[in-house]
């Protein structure tokens, strides 16, 4: 019986090691802080969006979009910010590889937030605000302009942002 428990323990530890992303959470927080500072932004936004989009897994992938990395970023953003060429036949594979890098993904995330903050919310006629209007990040401008919202997504981001802000400020 004792050997069985030891074997189960070893298998459990191996499964955790395999499933674990290549970056520790503390390392990610440091990356979020560095890049947020360079953008004059709040690192806690990166943390909560990464929690929602990928459970802070730099290797996350959603084949339905497709989107990649910590923030579920689509290749169109890499094209928009001139990291990649839209005519590149290897666009998706290059985007996937770039966005596995937490620094590149976090840089892209803050550029995307800056993009949306520079856009006008047609309902309020003001620029988009984060985390208050976080679901624009999830649904995108086209669906947003058609009235599509993701309230559960927005609520998660706002709730987690409040919690992490209180924890950090305490």
Total length of the chain: 170
Residue 32: closest CA among 99, 113, 106, 100: 106
- Averaged over successive runs of 10 residues, the pLDDT of the chain (170 residues) comes to 40 36 73 98 98 98 95 98 97 97 98 96 90 94 92 97 87
Q: Provide the token pair at 33.
A: 């802080």
Which residue is listed with tokens 């990395």?
69
**How far is residue 99 CA from its own chain's centroid?**
10
In the chain, domain spans: 24-169
Q: Do 164 and 47 meet the contact criterion of CB atoms below 8 Å apart? A: yes
Q: How many C-beta neighbours within 10 Å does residue 93 have? A: 11
Report the alpha-carbon distance of residue 56 to residue 111 in Å, rounded.
19
What's the confidence (pLDDT) of residue 70? Answer: 98
Which residue is listed with tokens 């409040």?
162
What's the confidence (pLDDT) of residue 12? Answer: 36
CA-to-CA separations, 127 to 77, 97, 116, 123, 156, in angstroms, rounded: 19, 32, 7, 10, 21
CA-to-CA separations, 48 to 59, 143, 157, in angstroms, rounded: 17, 22, 6
Q: How many C-beta neighbours within 10 Å does residue 25 have? A: 12
What backbone phi and psi angles, to 5 degrees, belong to 48?
-70, -35
Q: Provide the token pair at 65.
A: 């979009």
| Integer-rounded Cα radius of gyration of the chain | 18
Output the CATH code of domain 24-169: 1.10.530.10
């Amino acid at each position: 019986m004792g050997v069985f428990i030891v074997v189960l323990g070893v298998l459990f530890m191996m499964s955790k090691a395999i499933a674990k992303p290549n970056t520790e959470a503390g390392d990610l927080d440091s990356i979020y802080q560095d890049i947020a500072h360079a953008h004059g932004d709040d690192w806690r936004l990166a943390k909560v969006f990464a929690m929602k989009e990928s459970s802070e897994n730099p290797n996350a992938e959603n084949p339905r979009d497709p989107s990649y990395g910590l923030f579920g970023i689509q290749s169109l953003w890499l094209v928009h910010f001139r990291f990649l060429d839209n005519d590149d036949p290897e666009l998706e594979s290059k985007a996937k590889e770039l966005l596995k890098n937490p620094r590149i993904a976090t840089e892209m995330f803050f550029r995307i937030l800056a993009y949306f903050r520079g856009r006008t919310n047609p309902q309020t006629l003001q620029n988009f605000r984060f985390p208050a209007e976080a679901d624009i990040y999830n649904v995108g401008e086209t669906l947003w302009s058609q009235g599509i919202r993701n309230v559960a997504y927005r609520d998660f981001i706002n709730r987690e942002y409040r919690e992490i802000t209180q924890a950090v400020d305490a």
